[in-house]
Amino acid sequence: MSKILVVAEIEEQDVKKSSIEAICYGKQMNLGDVEVLIIGQVAAEHLNRLSNYGAQKVYQVAHNDTDYRDIQTYANIIAQVINQAGSDIVLMAKSSLTDAVAGRVAIKVEAELVTNVVELPLSTDPIKIKRSIYTGKAFEVVELTGAKKIITLRKSAVSIVENSGAGDVTIEAVEANTPDQKVSFVSKEKAEGDILLPEADIVVSGGRGLKGPENWGIVEDLAKTLGAATGCSKPVSDENWRPHHEHVGQTGVKVSPDLYIAIGISGAIQHLAGVNSSKTILVINKDPEAPFFKAADYGIVGDAFEVVPKLTSAIQA
Ligand code: FAD
């Protein structure tokens, strides 16, 4: 029997959806108890709900939003709890935080580290697991044989399964050992947009085919209608038609939504590298030979300025 620890991230006093996926991943591995580490304040009802996803126990390091701003400190706390809990498999949803801490924790607890995992293990004895490589252009299968394993998960590696009424989780408060903090909190500014691009279930993205920033209303209307985040190709953000945090691709944000809608984007390999783990891709392009159609599940050949408003009206209706 393994002991699985999910390192959860929080946002506005709740556990992030990507971390809920990681808990479900741990449960669906079917290798042992699933425990969760939470660094921060989470409302009690949200903590108790974690049992519905398969968590048995929560280690909670309560702190204010402003306490820890230091990657070293996070890594120290995670290593401390892994040792305290005796965890042999550690799961983290891929994020800018876990990109920075996973390697540090692996060194501290002498674990092997596998990043960018895209689905449940192909086998569990030994664990063979598929990961995305070359900035999303290929996949490889690796075998994990070490005593301790740290696995970071791409979004949508498993579906969230909730069994309501599973009872309360056990909550254990942990006093964090945080020597030598070198970075302290100064201020926080939220990026524009209600839905964060890397975590969005639906992304509506526009390319140079939209001709200019003044035409982005059709992209925003469709995104608003679908509850989607907006993205764009690199030249669009280079031209300052859209903010840089919306740039999707090899050199921008990598997304894994349930649905990616590409409007007036040609489908260059560098753009595809950021979207090819999307579950479903819809391409709207007036050129039937646009390379994006080869990567698409659905395609509409047509002028975006005619197609997109009609699509938005049809969805609204
Ligand atoms: P274009 O290639 O100009 O394509 C516009 C598309 O819109 C065409 O397919 C056209 O048929 C279509 N269109 C035109 N008018 C309409 C209309 N009215 N209705 C519908 N369709 C229409 N790019 C990224 O996106 N992300 C990256 O991370 C990235 N990284 C890069 C890294 C490197 C090192 C390099 C060299 C390049 C990188 N690029 C990246 C750039 C990439 O190679 C392409 O140049 C870029 O993706 C093209 O953007 P686009 O599809 O918006 O524009």
297 within 8 A of 281, measured Cβ to Cβ: yes
58 within 8 A of 38, measured Cβ to Cβ: yes
Positive or negative torsion for Cα 285, 300, 137, 200: positive
252 within 8 A of 267, measured Cβ to Cβ: no
Residue nearest to atom 38 of ligand 1 (CA): 270
N- to C-terminal Cα distance for the chain? 52
Q: Which of 53, 69, 12, 28 is nearest to 199 (CA)?
A: 12
How far is residue 26's CA from residue 22's CA, in Å, rounded to a whole number?
A: 6
Can you give 258-279 as a three-state secondary structure string?
CEEEEECCCCCHHHHCCCCCCC
Q: Which of 273, 256, 258 is nearest to 138 (CA)?
A: 273
Count CB-CB contacts under 10 A for residue 193: 15
pLDDT recorded at residue 135: 73
Q: Which of 88, 243, 263, 78 is nearest to 176 (CA)?
A: 78
Count CB-CB contacts under 10 A for residue 112: 14
Count CB-CB contacts under 10 A for residue 208: 17
pLDDT recorded at residue 172: 93
pLDDT recorded at residue 196: 79
pLDDT recorded at residue 43: 87
Choose one of 260, 263, 265 to mutate for the ligand 1 pocket test, by most ligand atoms within 8 angstroms of C-beta. Answer: 265
Positive or negative torsion for Cα 145, 150, 152, 157: positive
* Beta-bridge partners for 48: none
261 within 8 A of 285, measured Cβ to Cβ: no
Choose one of 137, 247, 248, 285 to mutate for the ligand 1 pocket test, by most ligand atoms within 8 angstroms of C-beta. Answer: 285
Element at 18 (helix H, strand E): helix 17-29
pLDDT recorded at residue 133: 87
pLDDT recorded at residue 64: 66
pLDDT recorded at residue 291: 97
Q: Give residue ranges with CB within 6 A of ligand 1.
A: 207-209, 233-236, 249-252, 264-266, 268, 270-271, 274, 284-287, 290, 303-305
User: What is the phi-psi region of residue 288: left when phi exceeds 0, alpha when psi lies from -120 to 50, beta otherwise?
Assistant: alpha
CA angle (10, 14, 18) in 5-degree steps: 60
How far is residue 317's CA from residue 305's CA, in Å, rounded to a whole number?
A: 19
Taking the centre of ligand 1 as the mean of its atom positions, its distance from the CA of residue 119, in whole angstroms, is: 29
251 within 8 A of 234, measured Cβ to Cβ: yes
Count CB-CB contacts under 10 A for residue 192: 8
Taking the centre of ligand 1 as the mean of its atom positions, its distance from the CA of residue 25, in whole angstroms, is: 35
Full pLDDT tens readout for the chain, 317 residues: 899 999 999 888 899 999 999 999 999 999 999 999 999 888 888 998 999 999 999 999 987 655 666 888 889 999 999 999 999 999 999 998 999 999 999 999 999 999 999 999 999 999 999 999 887 778 999 999 999 999 999 988 999 999 877 778 899 999 887 766 777 778 877 666 667 788 889 999 999 999 999 999 999 999 999 999 999 999 999 999 999 999 999 999 989 899 999 999 999 999 999 998 899 999 999 999 999 999 999 999 999 999 999 999 999 99
* Beta-bridge partners for 124: 127
Q: What are the phi and psi torsion angles at 76 (to 5°)?
A: -60, -45
Q: Token match 């509850």: residue?
A: 227
308 within 8 A of 263, measured Cβ to Cβ: yes
